[in-house]
Structure formats: C-alpha cells, structure tokens
Structure 1
Amino acid sequence: MPRLLCIALLCLATWPALADSYLTRQLNRPVPGGVAVLALGEGSRAPQVFFDGKPVLVVKEQATWRAVVGLPLSLKPGAQQVQVKDAAGERSLGFSVGSKRYPEQRITLKNTRQVNPNPDDLTRINRELAEQTRAYQSFSLGTPSNLLLDKPVSGPLSSRFGVRRFFNGEERNPHAGLDFAVPAGTPIKTPAAGKVILIGDYFFNGNTVFVDHGQGFISMFCHMSKIDVQPGQVLARGAVVGRVGATGRATGPHMHWNVSLNDARVDPAIFIGAFQP
C-alpha cells in the first residue's frame, strides 16, 4: 500500500480520539442521572445554555466553549436538546441520551416514622424540601475551580447513585448520591472550592451542608455528626465542612454526598473516575 495512503488511513482512524476533548472523555456519560458534555464552538464570550428552562454550566476548554449538562434520573432515553444563546443568536443543539439500569436496595428501619411520617413530620419535611430545592436551584456566575473532583472522604463506597430503595418493603425515592463507609467523626472535605449556601438539621438528611462550586454545580453532604462551617463562608478546595455521622434517616455512620448540575442530581462517581456504565 502506498505510503501516503497508509498515513491518510492512520489519520482517519485516530481522528475521533483526537477530536474528543479531555472533559468529554472524563465526564460525558449521557444517561439518566448522568452528564452530557456538548461542544458550543469558539468565541470571546461564553454562550448561555439552558436545559429544560434551567441555566447550564459552561466552561472554556482551550479555544472551545463546552456545556456540562446534568441529566435527571427521571429523564427518558432518546433525543434531547439544549437552547443556546450566543453572538450569532439563538439555536437548539441536539444530543442523545442512552439508557442505564440501576439496581435495588432494601433497607430496614426501626423508626417507622422515617418511612411513613406523621402529619407534623410532613409539614416539617415539606418546609425543609422547599428550602433545599431553592439551594439546588442556585446559579452563581463563578467558574468552578475544578470539574474533576476530589473524594470528600477516603473510604470504600457502600451505596451507589441511582439505586432504587425500599424502606421496610416500601419503595421511596432513588438514592440521589454516593455513600462512603467511613467511621463517625471522619472529616468531610469539599471536593472543589466553593461557598456555603445552606446548612441545616433536616428530618431525612440530618445535619446537612450545601456548597456552591459555581454555575449550578453544587455539592450536598448530609447525615453529619457535626457541621464545621457557616452560611456564606468561602471554602478552598479540601476545606473541612463537617464530620461523618448518622443523623436523619440513616442506619449507621457514613458519608452521603450529592452532586447537582442545573438542578439535576447526577452521579458523583462521574467526577471521581468511578462511574459504572
């Protein structure tokens, strides 16, 4: 085979790998509960991107702007699109969402009110849910310090994201984060720089901290034995936010960590290189 033809074929074979960005290779997991990384083109100003009417994280990688889109667990596989506003005007950008099957987990709780709350509990739960929903919907303009995150604690995973959960035989919301099996009192460190936007002691979550990393990229830590930060506090990457505990609806000490993008809870394992297809 002529030398020039061999070189051309080699270039064609390797082009897709070279065309993929680092962020795409690391974070693009377009399934329900996953993340879609979309190329937006070049330009001096960041485009505005919206998914399901909510603003999306946009970062610049070398010369190209990219949207990092959170995909809720409730999203149906198939064709989806974001809305893009830039110097050229407004347009839609399509992408495809694949499917993923999540396992089941059955948990027995001695406190039956944490499975079937009484009317007073429900009043409290609804009030707390509204407060936490507002935190998840926060959208600050700062660019996150890092998108590949540190583990908040060092330890084995005890429960993965998206697991269908049955408490005392009754199905409840899927698991919205990662659980790490670590002893009570273990320091919990923020996986990226950010600002504390909410703390509280909640019916289900126990002692809880929300950290805004920028542009709707938010970490939530709960079931803590102790909170070591205050609302409004600005944290460097690796700062301690609190200590592992078993407050709220928990069967024992562990570290529970949620990650949210554009108000969609997504699999934190994507950001620490531990995603399982």
Structure 2
Amino acid sequence: MPRFLSALLLLCLTANAHADSYITRLLNKPVPGGVAVLDLGSGNAAPKAFFQGKPVMVVKEQTQWRAIVGLPLSLKPGPAQVTSDAGNVNFTVGNKKYPEQHITLKNNRMVNPNPDDLKRIDSELAIQTTAYRTFTPGTPSNLLLDKPVDGPLSSRFGVRRFFNGEERNPHAGLDFAVPSGTPIKTPASGKVILMGNFFFNGNTVFVDHGQGFISMFCHLSRIDVKLGQIVPRGTVVGRVGQSGRATGPHMHWNISLNDARVDPAIFINAFQP
C-alpha cells in the first residue's frame, strides 16, 4: 500500500507540474483570438502538429513537447482538436465577449473603397496572407515578448469596430498611444519577410520569429529595416506614424500564430479575460 501511495503521489505531482508549467501559465488562454498550450508528450524528436490543417509551433519545455496553438477570432467555443504524429489532442475553446468601438473617419474611401481601391486591397491582402502563412523551422528567441513601444494601450485586440456607423473586421492587434516618430522595436529576434505601403495599413513591416510566429507593425511614419534583414531582439524596425487608415499617430501591433491573429497582450502579460 505505501508503494502504491508513493506512485500515486508521484503521478499527481508530475501531472501538476505539466499543468502548471511556465509556458502554460504564460500563454494558455484558450478562447477565440487566444492561445491553447497542449502537451504532446516527451518523445525524443519534436512531433509535428496541425490545427485546422495548418502547422503549429512546437517547443520543448524541460522534458515535455508543447504545442502553442493560435485560435482564430472566428472560432466557435466548444470542442477542438490538434492533430499530431504523437497522438491527437482534444481541448475546449472557451467563450470571450469583445467590446465595441465606434470610429469616425473623414475619408469615406477608408470605409467604402472605390473599385480601383478594392483591386489594390485584394492584391495586398494576398501578399499579406502569404506572409502570415510563413512557417520556418527554429524555436523563437523568446515567448514572453517585450512591448514594441513604451506607452499605454489605446485599443485592445478583438474589439468590434464600426467605421462611420458601418461594422467592419474586428481589431486584429493592439494599439499603443505614443507620439509620431517613436521608435518601434521588434519584441523577439526574427527576419523581415514583408514590408511596404498598403491601403489600410500604411507603412508596414512583417517580422518572422519562427514556426509561424509573426509580428506585424503598421501605420508607420517610416521603415528602418530592409527586406530579408535579420533583426535581433530590440532592433528598431520603424517609427510610429498614422499612415493608412488611422485617425492619429499610434503603434498597431499584430501577432499571428499558425495564420491566426491572436491577442498580443497574452505575450506581454497584459491579457484581460
């Protein structure tokens, strides 16, 4: 009996250690627009894992492999599954209600673009979608991210947005209220995989941190990096501005995981349930 109790205690401690891991405590927010951290076992080789047919990040924490899964805002609460060559993992997506934001724009083309604008928007969307779907090997330099700028949040992720009374896509990132010209620093090491001036986003930079973990910065007043440049953590990628669809200077930051835009606040310990 003592041997049985000892084994049971060891099993409980091991289970608690897995459930209470640092990465799980930091990132596991399994709601639409959030992140699910799932245990993939302790095999010798890194397992491959997929969610909705797209590869997901897999990292090793001590002896355990963990899938870091981005959950799209469009995902319905309820049962979900990650497929893996280490065995499929079921989990539950919780519910989260996001607030509304009403914005007035003087330039109505930024609400209802004309036909030429729509052609440009569609072309730019295809380019950006390809960038978001980048999946390169290698573990990101850090998962607890630095804030790209030092300033207060002015608009949170997931807010339902109404421009001139018309509903458009939810807010897919975080906005920081900082002055024009403020340096924007990459929150983790990476590679510049896309940059340019886009209709809605204005001057924009995409940084690939590895394994489908992408930062996007937009509305910049200027870009300070080059396409293909390797950027160590803390590198200035550009300066805050108000290019594109913006009512004033601010820094907009997206995080994408397995081609799902997720709440960057999760990675800077500022998530609000």
TM above 0.5: yes
* 1:63 equivalenced with 2:63 (yes/no): yes
| Aligned counterparts, 1:43-192, within 5 A | 43-86=43-86, 91-192=87-188
Aligned-residue offset at 1:16 = 6.4
Distance 1:143 1:13, change over 3 A: closer
Which stretches in structure 1 are left out of the alignment for 5+ residues?
1-6
**Other-structure match for 2:37:** 37
Give secondary structure in 2 for the equivalent of 1:133: helix
TM-score, length-scaled by structure 2: 0.94
Shift of 1:11: 9.2
**Alpha-carbon offset, residue 18 of structure 1:** 3.5
Pick from 238, 241, 245: which aligns with 2:241? 245
Structure 2 CA distance for aligned equivalents of residues 61 and 179 of structure 1: 31
Shift of the 135–154 alpha-carbon distance from structure 1 to 2, 3 Å rule, reads same
1:21 and 2:21 aligned? yes
Distance 1:85 1:11 in 2: 27
How far, CA to CA, are the matches of 1:15 and 1:109 in structure 2? 55
CA RMSD, aligned part only? 1.8
Check if 1:216 corresponds to 2:212: yes
Structure 1 segments, 4+ long, off by >3 Å, are 10-19
Q: What is the rounded CA distance, in whole Å, between the counterparts of 1:55 and 1:18 in structure 2?
A: 26
CA distance in 2, matches of 1:171, 1:110: 16
Alpha-carbon spacing, 1:15–1:40, altered in 2? closer, same or farther (3 Å): closer
Question: Take 2:105 and 2:95, find their aligned partners in 1: how far apart are those partners?
Answer: 31
Distance of aligned partners of 1:82 and 1:15 in 2 relative to their CA distance in 1, 3 Å threshold: closer
Distance in 2 between residues matched to 1:150 and 1:49, nearest whole Å: 27
Q: Distance in 1 between matches of 2:149 and 2:261?
A: 20
Change (3 A) 1:50 1:12: closer
Give secondary structure in 1 for the equivalent of 2:150.
coil
Give 1:142 shift.
Answer: 1.5
Question: 1:48, 1:182 → 2: CA distance?
Answer: 40
Task: Give the drift of 1:85.
Answer: 1.3
Aligned-pair identity in percent equals 75
Q: Distance in 2 between matches of 1:11 and 1:217?
A: 35
Alpha-carbon separation, structure 2, partners of 1:16 and 1:164: 38
Distance 1:109 1:163 in 2: 17
Task: Tell me by how many angstroms 1:275 deviates.
Answer: 0.1
State the 1:92 CA deviation.
Answer: 1.9
Q: Distance in 1 between matches of 2:100 and 2:163?
A: 11
The separation in 2 between residues aligned to 1:137 and 1:196, in whole angstroms, is 14
Q: Structure 1 residues 235-244 or 12-21, which shifts more?
A: 12-21
**What's the CA shift string for 1:67-98, capped at 9, x where partnerless?**
00000000000000011014xxxx32100100
Whole-angstrom CA distance in 1 between matches of 2:76 and 2:226 = 38
CA distance in 1 between counterparts of 2:135 and 2:10 reads: 42
1:272 is matched with which residue? 268
Q: 1:256 to 1:145 in 2, by over 3 A?
A: same
- Match in the other structure for 1:229: 225
1:157-213, CA deviations, whole angstroms, 9 ceiling, x for partnerless residues?
000000000000000000000000000000000000000000010000000000000
